A = this chain, B = another copy of it.
Amino acid sequence: MRKGTRNLNERSLQLLKTLVERYISDGQPVGSRVLSTDSALNLSPATIRNVMADLEELGLIHSPHTSAGRVPTVSGYRLFVDSLLTVKPLDTKELARLYEGLSENEDAGTMIGVASRLIADLTKMAGVVTLPRRELVCLRHIEFLPLSHKRVLVIFVTNEQEVHNKVIHTDKVFGASELQQAGAYLNSIYCGHSLTAVRAAVLKELQTDQERMNQAMLDAIKMAQLTFESDNEKDDYVLAGETNLMGFSELSDRNHLKKLFEAFSQKQDVIHLLDQSMKAEGVQIFIGEESGYQAFDHCSLVTSSYSVNDEVVGVLGVIGPTRMAYEKIIPFIDVTAKLLGAALNPKTSTP
């Protein structure tokens, strides 16, 4: 059939682009008339209708009802962001605010919060930033305190000043001084190493000859193992500006909004989604149902991993309605990720 032959020529792509841009800015279904005047091409509405019929057949656009204009489908958005979109340079004011906010030398937790807030404020959508992975964090100090019932409270400090704590269950009862000794021992050998390195070293230690260690050392190693045994230190993220999402008419359905907020507070879906984009470097985009989670059906996520010392340690992004200004959001997220990475770099961030 002849439609196949003209499926996606230059012109139809150009029209799709204009249509998406127009829909993003107006929020109204776009008709052939507007498109005719809007696009640089000099085509009559009738011609455009023919093209639109093709685009619709390809599943790129869709008509809410018989006599409304066309609206991009998820595939349409996808094609748009993948090949049609022309990114706009960042607004200077926004860039300035990013610089200002992300140049302070605070601890990682604070910076994460600042970044999240900045994303939310500047995009008027919801900002989300994951905490840095533990590979990055290096052990600075560790300490054990006895609790009742063979339980021990572990406190460990990472990087400059981040304090973590965890309760572990030991197989015998330890006294305060024994625990103190164990802490001192571990501090002396593992201080300054990354948590993953510590975990690896501890495991190796336990598997090799334990004869050359005395009981106290062995106890210490065992406790370290319990402390760092798994990544169960559940990943977490900082969210800001959720309330911004309540303003969007496309999310006005009470039910959708509720599901979305529930997903935010249960966290796991969001975390899983962010994890995915951790694997790839650079900006990633999930449009509508692409995410695979019902809660995000009418939302898009634009994310980017951020790196410290050329190693990916976390993800940040923005959550908003499918109809968002991708051409502005994409560079924005890109820059924010780079700035956050730089701000977290211990070389430059230690005063």
Contact = CB atoms under 8 A, between A and B. Distances in A.
Contacts of A254: 246-247, 252
Contacts of A145: 140-141, 157
Contact of A246 (B153, B167, B247, B258): B258
A32 B249 CA distance: 39
A196 to B, nearest CB: 22
A338 to B, nearest CB: 25
Question: Main SS of chain A's interface residues?
Answer: mixed
Contacts of A242: 261, 265
A23 to B, nearest CB: 22
A165 B163 CA distance: 7
Interface string A147-171: 1110001010100110101010000
Interface residues of A, number: 28
A47 interface: no
A163 B153 contact: yes
A37 interface: no
A262 interface: yes
A257 interface: yes
B243 A265 contact: yes
